[in-house]
Chain A
């Protein structure tokens, strides 16, 4: 039996040391199966569900749901990844914070956050850490209060693609997000992130290197595609084998980049 305890503040949830219950779409499966720990904590702290959109970056509370993001016209750059999370009922419950630590093949929204250069504000700590670092702490996830997400200066500089077998809703064979800002025809600050290509969402160093500093032309796209899976160790599951994921990662990256060129 699991007790889901609601504490008044995020600070108290952090101090409790118990695993955190966000929207609960992952946790409730374990609770239903009798496999969850005896105590989970959450908080009714309204700050967790806050969205503050002033300026170049938007601050999204970790408890904000995918449906809340989809309801905000000013967050349209996040709509495609938010819509890729499960069906409508799941999106009414699934939170941004929970997506950072959802197990493989989940974490599609975190992929977009990583490519956008988002940072996670940790509860009870000053400053913020890059999402790609925070998502590695799987065993004991640090409690995330909010995400600071830089808005892409040019909407066309951000690309998103989820590959799934079942349409319109299915889990990822893989997902890809690319930030490719241009300065005078050259790509500067390229970020490429993959989901379902490893134990957690991560950046693709090979593809980034192939694109950085050049033009987004056919030759650069071919080089990035060839190096897409470099250093990545995708898992085998019921959806796809590791071999297949590695083989198609470059194909899908090429298609996404061609659409952004």
Chain B
């Protein structure tokens, strides 16, 4: 076990990480943030996408100890009432059906808009290309992200 001190959605946190434990398991079981989802455990689905020091990362492929001293952001930190512009846009555009991919999609979209507030449709597609959705066919998600960008502008 190693102590890991980091910030989660702006608040300082500390917990013990087991040897070889990934950040996803650490956040869910060690810290109690259930918003990043376990999909494949192989980096293929993107449901565990979180933002670390401004970059999207697959929490299932990142050793938990690598979070030490860094800023970790998850969907739980977007807005407690679900009123973040991206969350509003996802609801407005029916961009979630089963909802399992949604926290990862939101974080991929958030990282995109932070870097590029007015992305093109192609840039949105590229930004969510590491996130699988088996319900929506992606169109409503793309529309939601584009409209959130417009609403913020």
Contact = CB atoms under 8 A, between A and B. Distances in A.
Contacts of B111: 88
A1 B19 CA distance: 7
Contacts of B61: 24-25, 28-29, 93
B58 A93 contact: yes
Interface residues of A, number: 22
A246 B57 CA distance: 36
Interface of A: 1-4, 24-25, 28-29, 31-33, 36, 67, 86-90, 92-93, 168-169
Given A89-B46, A92-B55, A93-B57, A28 B127 contact: no
Given A89-B46, A92-B55, A3 B20 contact: yes
B55 to A, nearest CB: 5
Contact of B56 (A3, A33, A36, A92): A92
B63 interface: yes
Classify the interface of chain A: helix, strand, loop or mixed. loop
Given A25-B61, A29-B61, A93-B61, A88 B41 contact: no
Given A88-B108, A93-B62, A32 B130 contact: no
Nearest to B24: A32
Contact of A89 (B41, B65, B130): B130
Contacts of B19: 1-4
A70 to B, nearest CB: 11
Contact of B126 (A4, A31, A168): A168
Closest 10 CB pairs of A and B: A87-B130, A2-B20, A169-B129, A28-B61, A87-B129, A32-B41, A89-B130, A89-B56, A89-B58, A3-B19
Contact of B20 (A29, A36, A89, A169): A36
Interface string B87-128: 000000000000000000000100100000000000001110
Contacts of A4: 19-20, 63, 65
B22 A89 contact: no
A36 B56 CA distance: 25
A87 B43 CA distance: 10
B59 to A, nearest CB: 9
A177 B58 CA distance: 29
Contact of B60 (A28, A36, A88, A92): A28
Interface in B37-75: 41-43, 46, 49, 55-58, 60-63, 65
B131 interface: yes
Given A87-B46, A88-B126, A88-B130, A31 B57 contact: no
Nearest to A6: B65
A122 to B, nearest CB: 25
Given A4-B19, A89-B57, 5 more contacts: A3-B19, A25-B58, A32-B22, A32-B42, A89-B56
B130 A28 contact: no
Given A4-B19, A88-B56, A89-B57, A169 B130 contact: yes
A168 B125 contact: yes
